[in-house]
Amino acid sequence: MDPFRKFVLKPTKLSANQIKLKNWDPHYIGNKSKIDTVTEIEHFSKKISDLQYKLFAANNKSLLIILQGVDASGKDGIIRQVMGALNPQNCYVKSFKVPNENELAHDYLWRIHMEIPKKGQISFFNRSHYEDVIEPGVNNLISRDDLIRRYRQINDFERYLTENDITILKFFLHISKDEQKERLQERIQDPTKHWKINESDIINHRNWDKYMEVYEKVLSLCSNKWAPWYIIPANVKYFRNWAILYIILKKLEIMKPEFPELKIDPSEYIID
C-alpha cells in the first residue's frame, strides 16, 4: 500500500468540490519517529541524486518543481534540503519576485516560460505564475472574470508543458496561522534572521484568512491530472522535507530515466 496516499493530498478534478484547508492538518507527522524519518530522508536523497544523473544523461525529459505557500512556510528550507542532494550542473532554482519593469511589459507567463527547464534538467520555482492569481485574488487587483480566465490559462499552459516532456510537481506548503506567527516572531527576534522579514510579511499575516481562501481556489481549480497539487503538512520541518523528497523520488521513478545506449559500434573503435 502506498503510504503516501494517507497523508498528502493529491487533489484531482476538484473544481466542483472546493478544497477546505481547515480539513487538512498542517501538523501531521506520519507514523514514524523523527529519527527514522530523518534516516529515510538521507536514503531518498541518495536515490534522487542517482535518478537525476540518469535524467541528465537521457536528456529527453525534465522536471519542474513548483513551491507555493504563505510567507515563512518553508519554501527556501525545502530548496536547501533537496538541492543539497543534487548535482548543481543540471539543477536550477528560480525565485520569482515582484515583476520588474521589463517583465511587467510582457504577458504574465512570459517570464515563467523563459525559465522552464531544458531537457535533462530539474528546476525549482520558488513562487511561480500562481502569484499572478494569488496576489490579485487577495488584493482584488483584477476582476473575477479575469481571475477565472487566468486559472484557465494556467491550466492550458501546464498541460502544454506536460505534453512536451516537462513533468510538473506542485507543492503547497500548508502551515497553520499560529506556526506562521511563531516563525515571523523568530525572524524579528533573531538578528541572523532579520534579513528574511519585511513589512509586507506582517500585513500578509493579518490577511491570513483571505490568503487561505484564495489558496483554496487555486488548489481546487488548478489541480489537473497532468499537474496535480500536493498539499504538504508543513508545520513540522522534518516531516515536510520527508514528504516532498518522497514525492519527488516517486515521480522520478515513474519518469524512469535510463542511460542511453552507446551510439557507436565499440568493435569499430580502438582507443589506445
Residues near its own copies (CB under 8 A)? 59, 102, 105-110, 113-114, 116, 118-120, 149, 153, 156-157, 159-161, 163-166
Q: Of the candidates 195, 237, 252, 272, which has an alpha carbon nearest to the alpha carbon of residue 26?
A: 237
Q: How far is the CB of 153 from its own copies (least distance, A)?
A: 5
Taking the least distance from each CB to its own copies, the nearer of 102 and 192 is 102
Taking the least distance from each CB to its own copies, the nearer of 114 and 202 is 114
End-to-end CA distance of the chain: give it in Å, rounded.
53
Q: Is 249 exposed, middle or buried (0-12, 13-18, 19+ CB in 10 A)?
A: middle
Taking the least distance from each CB to its own copies, the nearer of 114 and 141 is 114
Taking the least distance from each CB to its own copies, the nearer of 155 and 207 is 155
Q: How far is the CB of 98 from its own copies (least distance, A)?
A: 18
DSSP 8-state secondary structure symbol assigned to residue 224: B
Q: How far is the CB of 164 from its own copies (least distance, A)?
A: 4
- Output the DSSP codes for 19-78: --GGGS-TT--TTS-HHHHHHHHHHHHHHHHHHHHHHHHH-S-EEEEEEE-STTSSHHHH
Taking the least distance from each CB to its own copies, the nearer of 116 and 243 is 116
Taking the least distance from each CB to its own copies, the nearer of 154 and 197 is 154
| Four-point Cα dihedral 86, 98, 207, 221, nearest 10 | -70
Q: Of the candidates 183, 200, 229, 223, which has an alpha carbon nearest to the alpha carbon of residue 138?
A: 200
Tell me the C-alpha distance between 170 and 127, whole Å. Answer: 10
Q: How far is the CB of 165 from its own copies (least distance, A)?
A: 8
Taking the least distance from each CB to its own copies, the nearer of 28 and 130 is 130
Tell me the C-alpha distance between 103 and 229, whole Å. Answer: 26
Q: How far is the CB of 43 from its own copies (least distance, A)?
A: 31
Taking the least distance from each CB to its own copies, the nearer of 154 and 219 is 154
- Output the DSSP codes for 104-120: HTS-TTHHHHHTPPPTT
Q: How far is the CB of 82 from its own copies (least distance, A)?
A: 23
Contact 55, 61 (CB under 8 A): yes
Contact 211, 203 (CB under 8 A): no
Q: How far is the CB of 138 from its own copies (least distance, A)?
A: 21
Beta strands in the chain (DSSP E): 62-68, 91-95, 122-126, 166-174, 229-233
Q: How far is the CB of 110 from its own copies (least distance, A)?
A: 6
